Structure 1
Amino acid sequence: MESAGQKNKHGAIENLLQMALDRTTDGRGALAESILQVCLQTNSNLSAKEFEITFDILRKLVGDVEMEVRRTIAERLATRGDLPHDIALFLANDQIEVAYPVLVDSAALEDVDLIMITRGKPASHQIAVTLRRNLSAAVSNALVESQSVDVIDSLLRNPTAEIAPSTMEMMVELSRSMTPIQKPLLQRTDLSADLAWRMYGWVGSALKNFIVDTFPETGTDFGSEIDDVIERAMATSAEPIAEESSTVSASDLLRILETENLEAFQHAFAQFSGLALNAVPATLSDAGGESLAIVCKACGVPVKDFLRIFELVNAQIAGGGQPDSMEFNAVRTFFDRLEIKNANSILSEWRAATE
């Protein structure tokens, strides 16, 4: 004999089947609510066949109920391991109010589903996908291909997302113009030192200091990881860039600076550094002195001469007046800790960019 509980359960199923015959919008909404309340409770103890019937009813009515009901369905089903794939996919392609919990939590969605949604849906859906745990490298790449600042920023803040080296390199290049992604990108534990140092040429002073502190050694020949132009310029990456290519020496720079002939100094500095003349003012006007330090380190300028050049440049060009002891210590520390090969790489990239 059936127990009272079994009779009640079968009675509930029969009632749902009767409700399924009601074609009105209100009737379908009531049916959906009943399914959620009666059948999809964690302790409902339905048989496999009864679950199949329940999901089949949902499958038939989910497209005909109001958005609020669909949202309730999505919220209740998102974390269920037995959610049928087709229902999950339908809900994931709905309005974001409905799709969000399924995009974030449903294990029923496969990588191919997530990639198609990423490529075919707006940023709201893409951001929801970035919040999933353990995103695959393929899905992460599709998200980055959106080139949306908000989407990429959200992806970078997901520590469980797998990101392929090629995708990471794509984001590094995007960070040239996407300032908001620079910090979370540099904070990724899977960002290589080589890529971090590539960003040095365009991030702000605070992130430059972060790079120096976090990636003191690249661990590889930096030149082997960047574009062909820089690679050719890095033939001897562990040695200073030879000054023989220029008739101007560090001593010449100091003598010109002491005459306060700024136009002559800028022309001399362009010849000394190999930078285009129109790029020199921005390099010299960096009040923190990091850009000047990179050029001087790459060109083999002794620390004593560099500090004197920094003092005069800061007073005459950068507009900072005479640097105080704290500024001197900061730029001295930066210069001392800066690897020659890193300075070479950055200066080579600057040269290529200003050709």
Structure 2
Amino acid sequence: MNALIRPQSPHPTDAGTLTSASHLLELARGRTTDDRRRLLLGIAALCDATPPGAEASPLLGDIFMIIARQAESDIRKALSESLASAEWAPPALIAMLALDEIEIARPVIAASPLLKDQDLLRVLLEATIEHQIEVARRPHISGRVADAIIDRGDPATLTALAGNRTAQVSEDALARLIEHSSRIAALRAPLTRHPRLNDALATQLYQWVGQALREAIGERFRVDETKLAAAVDTVIRPPLAEPRGIGNDDAVVDREEMERRLVAKLQSSGQLRAGFLIRAVRERRLSLFEHAMTALGGFTLDQVRAAMVRPGPDALFLMCAAVGIDRAVFPALLEEVRAMNDGRPGVSQSGEPGPMSLAPTAAARAFRSLMGHVGG
């Protein structure tokens, strides 16, 4: 039943009864179908008597609050749908409906002009993730609400916010969304189309997106894709690791310090994961792989580097398993490590590590036992 879709006008002889305060309040507390029908006729008459832009009568607010507290969910949903755009509805009622079940709350969260920042912030704090997503989708939400959504860091809510082109998102807030896109792939496509994306932010976003989105960024900002890629590699990524023993000693020290800082920053923000190590190897950055392995596995740098030059790959296999690198990935990773490390680690007489899976904690324990004499 759509409770507030206006029914036919009441019979003229019933008008005084329908708008009687005591009678309407009595009907609001009633349970029968006839009570509800007569109540809705009376509410319709009161709504018709409320001029545009005027406040609702206190009587109407009292009746609505009783309905909201006592009625079944289908009545509350109809109430929410009918009042979603009303400027005269009781603000306390709208705030209550916004915290109701999601199907009831959705219309008012999406459209009610009576929901203020403090109401939306309360929804973000107290309601379900579905409610939070609706807040993030709400047209023209303020920067204060957008910042609160970003602070919470939920992937689904952030993605809804990234797709909300009318939200008041500051440049700093958009930069924070782009940082989140390094771990949340769903953010990347809507961010490339965001109306507040500028050249500087596009350069930051460029490093996380795939080829199709890179082309979209390059076309939108009229930036040469090759130059943009080079700029990102220079500004954001550490330089490619040189083979060991090559290059100026000071340059090697500077590069390794940069790598340590990058790894520390990723670890402190919770973004240092096994995938980063795989990427470092694929980009031929052996020293960065070693520093990341040291931090993620809790090993010493001496242990990690000793494992990289052993006669066989068992130690490398154990430390990769310890940080969660899948055994199916290991053969390709081993081949790439050998290609930039003078063929080391070598091939043991027993052959390459077998297909056996090993739990990370067990692998870490085995690695430390094997390498315990090095840098312990």
- Work out the CA distance in 2 between the residues paired with 1:11 and 1:200: 68
Q: Which residue of 2 is the match for residue 17 of structure 1? A: 22
Corresponding letter in the other structure for 2:49: N
Counterpart of 1:45, as a letter, is A
Of 105, 111, 131, which aligns to 1:125? 131
Partner of 2:45: 38
Q: Distance in 2 between matches of 1:140 and 1:35?
A: 40
Deviates more, 1:191-200 or 1:67-76: 191-200
CA distance in structure 1 between the aligned counterparts of 2:280 and 2:71, rounded to whole angstroms: 65
Deviations 1:146-204 (A, max 9, x none): 32222222222222111012211211111001001111012112022212211222221
Separation in structure 2 between the aligned mates of residue 174 and residue 103 of structure 1, nearest angstrom: 25
Deviation at 1:96, TM superposition (A): 0.9
Task: Output the CA distance in 1 between the equivalents of 2:284 and 2:218.
Answer: 20
SS at match of 2:167: coil
- Structure (1/2) with the larger helix percentage: 1
Note if contact 1:25-1:64 (Cα within 8 Å) is conserved in structure 2: no
Look up the SS of the partner of 1:190 in the other structure: coil
Alignment match of 1:154 (pick from 149, 160, 166): 160
| Residue pair 1:20, 1:31 contacting (<8 A) in 2 also | no
Q: Which runs of 5+ in 1 are unaligned?
A: 235-239, 249-269, 286-316, 318-355
Q: Report the 3-state secondary structure (helix = DSSP H, G, I; strand = E; otherwise coil) of the residue aligned with 1:25.
A: coil
Query: 1:278 and 1:7, CA in 2 relative to 1: closer, same or farther beyond 3 A?
Result: closer
CA distance in 2: counterparts of 1:89 and 1:144, whole angstroms: 22
User: Structure 1 residues 32 and 115, CA, compared in 2 at 3 Å: closer, same or farther?
Assistant: farther
- The separation in 2 between residues aligned to 1:51 and 1:39, in whole angstroms, is 8
Deviations 1:198-251 (A, max 9, x none): 122222122222233233459xxx9xxx9xx969x99xxxxx99x9xx966xxx
Q: CA 1:162/1:35 → structure 2, altered by over 3 Å: closer, same or farther? A: farther
Report if aligned partners of 1:29, 1:65 keep a CA contact under 8 Å in 2: no
Q: In the alignment, is the contact (CA less than 8 A) between 1:130 and 1:155 conserved in 2?
A: yes
Is the counterpart of residue 282 in structure 1 residue 282 in structure 2? yes
1:122-201 matched pairs, under 5 angstroms: 122-201=128-207
The Cα shift of 1:24 comes to 4.1
Question: Deviations along 1:127-152, whole A, 9 cap, x unmatched?
Answer: 22223221111111122223222222
Query: What's the TM-score once normalised by structure 2's chain length?
Result: 0.54
Q: Which amino acid aligns with 2:91?
A: H
Counterpart-to-counterpart distance in 2, 1:46 and 1:83: 10
Residue 84 of structure 1: aligned partner: 90
Q: Tell me how far apart the structure 2 counterparts of residues 149 and 35 of structure 1 sit (CA, whole Å).
A: 46
Bigger mean CA offset, 77-86 vs 276-285: 276-285
Structure 2, gaps ≥5 residues long: 1-9, 260-276, 286-335, 337-376
**What is the root-mean-square deviation of aligned Cα atoms in Å?**
4.1
TM-aligned CA deviation for residue 51 of structure 1? 3.0
- Cα deviation, 1:262-305, whole Å, max 9, x if unaligned, reads xxxxxxxx99x9897975642369xxxxxxxxxxxxxxxxxxxx
Structure-2 residue corresponding to 1:107: 113
Report the equivalent of 1:288: none
3-state DSSP class of the match of 2:153? coil
What does residue 347 of structure 2 align with?
none
Give 1:18's aligned amino acid.
Answer: H
Normalised by the length of structure 1, the TM-score is 0.57
* Equivalences, count: 242
